[in-house]
Chain A
Amino acid sequence: MASPIEQFEIKPIVPIHVGGVDISFTNSALYMVIAVVVATVFLTAAMSKRALIPGRLQSMAEMVFEFVAGMLRDNAGAGSQKYFPFIFTLFMFVLLGNLLGLTPYSFAYTSHIVVTAGLAVMVFIGVTIIGFVKHGAGYLRMFFPHGAPVITAPILVPIELVSYLSRPFSLSVRLAANMTVGHIMLKVIAGFVISLGVFGIVPFAGVVGVTFLEIGIACLQAYIFTVLSCIYLHDALHLH
């Protein structure tokens, strides 16, 4: 029986070595390119008609747009409209990464901590820079207790600091762990289908059920990633 961990291996498709650095085009990169192409083709084709009363495809694109725009407006408050392109890109990238990983013979690039950590650190550093640019040194007031006696400050400030600094880690680990666990579960249950012979129908039904669950989790995790980014943006834009 094949190991369920093998599906996460990075395999170079086009080996490229520049001065001792390995920048090969891997299967992970291939699926990232596929995700970008799918998103671009979907949005461009859907909006090509520009009908005032949208047809089916245009409705789908408008629904996704309104969903992300509403989420950004509700969670990040006023003045957040200029960050919409980034948040929309983040949402589509993570969503397509999660969903494309469920197609057969594919590779889920969001299951690798390096990809999710890259996205989460980008969000964290961006939000911190926005906070400092907007409020100057007053951004540090966010860690000071507003409704508590100043005596408790030496205890509350380190706690708030740790809580703030753990954000990129928890954001990245949550997405990578959910994807990895889901895919390993699928492979392990599917491995039983052949070895049980005629009773293999039971793990097969299990695989169908778990795949439905994984589709739901893929969409939910993309939503959670984006909504938390919007909340961190709110904290940076409006301190209190």
Chain B
Amino acid sequence: MGLGFRVAIELVVCTVVGAGLGYGFDVWLGSRPFGMVIGLGFGFAAGVTTIYRVVKGMDEAVGLGRASRERETRQNPPAKD
């Protein structure tokens, strides 16, 4: 139940933060509503990426470098895409 809660909260929070950032961008540039829509899209993508990393055991590492090195150390060396 703990993992389920964690995944759900990560997804919702990332989407909301992305939409919020997009909305802030809107207020700054006056480009309603496109800023919030794009922010929503990025937020959702960030949420899915974070959930993927949590489930894979990389513990929401930020930065593709750390995530791919985590993957290397967990599998055997010849495991690059």
Contacts and interface: CB of A to CB of B under 8 A. Distances in A.
Nearest to B13: A170
Contact of A158 (B1, B16, B42): B42
Interface residues of B, number: 30
A145 interface: yes
Interface stretch (A39-47, A85-93, A159-167, A200-208): A159-167
Interface stretch (A3-11, A24-32, A98-106, A172-180): A172-180
B65 A166 contact: no
Contacts of B69: 240
B17 A160 contact: no
Which of B17, B39, B49 has most A Cβ within 10 Å? B17
B57 to A, nearest CB: 12
A2 interface: no
A162 B46 contact: yes
B28 to A, nearest CB: 15
B13 A166 contact: yes
B60 A231 contact: yes
Contact of A162 (B6, B17, B60, B61): B17
A160 B64 CA distance: 8
A169 interface: yes
A159 B46 contact: yes
A170 B62 contact: no
A167 B6 CA distance: 12
Interface of B: 1-2, 5-6, 9-10, 13-14, 16-18, 21, 39, 42-43, 45-47, 49-50, 59-66, 68-69
